[in-house]
Amino acid sequence: MKGYTRRIIPFILTLPLLLLIFAGCSNQDDTTVLKLAHGLDPSHSVHQGMVYMAEKVAEKSNGTMRLDIYPSGQLGSERENVEMLQIGSLAITKVSAAIMEGFAPSYRVFGLPYIFTSREHSQKVFDGPIGREILEDGEEFWLRGLTFYDAGSRSFYTKDRPINHPDDLRGLKIRVMQSPSAVNMVRTFNGSPTPISWGELYTALQGGVVDGAENNPPSFYLSHHYEVCKYYSLNEHSTIPDVLLISTKIWNTLTPQEKQWLQEAADESAVHQRELWIESEQHSLEQVKKAGVEVIYPDKTPFIELVQPLYDAYKEDERLYGLIKRIQELQE
């Protein structure tokens, strides 16, 4: 892969030693048990989608296959869960597609601002050949994608001033994920991108370490960031899905029938989760407005015009630029 360095995350030794002896997949009374861990609250639509998947797995297998779900970071942080997948001590986890940029370069296309023109456009990509191609791109690093969950569109929220135009971001320190695409985007908007872990962001906003952040409505609401940031500008610059990953070390131990059950259940859970997500978005916006947040609907045109050079930067990468063109061809 041109210009890409193989990346393997070293295992963090601060995890409880007991976790190291957990098997991501085990057989109990002839039942195949897969452990699924993630950092989301049980009220989150993605967790509820996973619960639906577990129900479907049990139904399809007549109880011979089971998913045990550990939410809220019970088995470690997002980073630690990914590491556990790589060594096979955990079967399944969920990460943002932005995190996968460090493992499989094709995921970088999702971080391009305004690559999708509508929810229908994005779902056509996620559910089609392009989506399946990208899901399988991390297998070299023992991370196979099962499906994409809807994570809506990300927008800016700030403490002291609203964002009506890209110029309003000038000089502001904006929290971003550990994603080159997110960093480049905020710089293009003349802001100062500041990578900070999600768990530390509330305190960073309170203490003035950053002036704002960017995320979807449910994350803005459920994180209580609306208590600190009173301006939410729905410029919807990026539509980055969540990715359900399985360790290839576990996947390769499953029978063809078990793989089929699991994949079918994952696909069906994605459809269910999207319905829950739309409800969650509406509820979250209603609640932050009640809490005194000013929700702004800026003209997206200046934002779209500014990010065009980010697309041009991919022209020398034949594969990634080819993916961009294929995605654009699927626009409504």
Q: Tens-digit pLDDT profile for the chain (332 aa)?
A: 434 334 444 443 344 434 444 567 777 678 999 999 998 889 899 999 999 999 999 999 999 999 999 999 899 888 889 999 999 999 999 999 988 988 888 999 999 999 999 999 999 999 999 999 999 999 999 999 999 999 999 999 999 999 999 999 999 999 998 888 899 999 999 999 999 988 899 999 999 999 999 999 999 999 999 999 999 999 999 999 999 999 999 999 999 999 999 999 999 999 999 999 999 999 999 999 999 999 999 999 999 999 999 999 899 999 999 999 999 999 86
3 in any annotated domain: no
Q: Which residues pair with 245 in a beta bridge?
A: 93, 145
In whole angstroms, give the CA distance from residue 304 to residue 291: 30
In a domain, 212, yes or no: yes
Mark whether 253 and 229 lie in a shared domain: no
Which residues on neighbouring strands pair with residue 67, listed in sequence order?
34
Vertex 55 angle, CA 127 and 132, to 5°? 20
d(CA 47, CA 38): 8
Count of C-beta atoms within a 10 Å radius of residue 4 = 13
Whether residue 2 is contained in a domain is answered as: no
For residue 12, being part of any structural domain is answered with no
Count of other CB atoms within 10 angstroms of residue 97:
27
CA 104, CA 143: separation in Å to the nearest integer? 9
Burial class (CB in 10 A: 0-12, 13-18, 19+), 87: middle
Q: Which two tokens stand for residue 181?
A: 């695409």
326 phi/psi in degrees, rounded to 5: -65, -40
Q: Are residues 174 and 83 in the same domain?
A: no
CA separation for the pair 87, 106 (Å, rounded): 23
Is 251 a member of any domain? Answer: yes
**19, exposed or middle or buried, with CB in 10 Å at 0-12, 13-18, 19+?**
middle
102 and 40 belong to one structural domain: yes
Supply the DSSP symbol for 11: P
- Pairing verdict, β 192-195 and 173-176: parallel
The domain in which residue 28 lies consists of 17-150+241-283
Whether residue 259 sits in one domain with residue 131: yes
CATH number for the domain harbouring residue 173: 3.40.190.170
Q: What is the per-residue pLDDT for 20?
A: 43
Same domain, yes or no: 198 and 56:
no
Q: Do 162 and 55 share a structural domain?
A: no
Looking at the domain assignment, is residue 5 inside a domain? Answer: no
302, part of any domain: yes
For residue 268, give the nearest of 52, 12, 60 by alpha carbon.
Answer: 52
Q: Are residues 21 and 107 in the same domain?
A: yes
DSSP string, 71-113: -TTTT--HHHHHHHHHHTS--EEEEETTGGGGT-GGGGGGGST
* Count of domains observed in the chain: 2
Angle between helices 45-60 and 256-290 (to 10 degrees): 150
Q: Are residues 28 and 174 in the same domain?
A: no
Strand, helix or coil at 270? Answer: helix
Domain match, 225 and 306 both:
yes
Judgement on whether residues 175 and 39 belong to the same structural domain of the protein: no
My answer on whether 22 and 160 are in the same domain is no
- Angle at 42 (CA atoms; ends 39, 43), nearest 5 degrees: 120
CA-to-CA distance for 132 and 9, rounded, in angstroms?
24
169 and 43: one domain?
Answer: no
pTM of the model: 0.86
Give 254's DSSP letter.
Answer: S
**What pLDDT, on a 0 to 100 scale, did the predictor assign at position 3?**
41
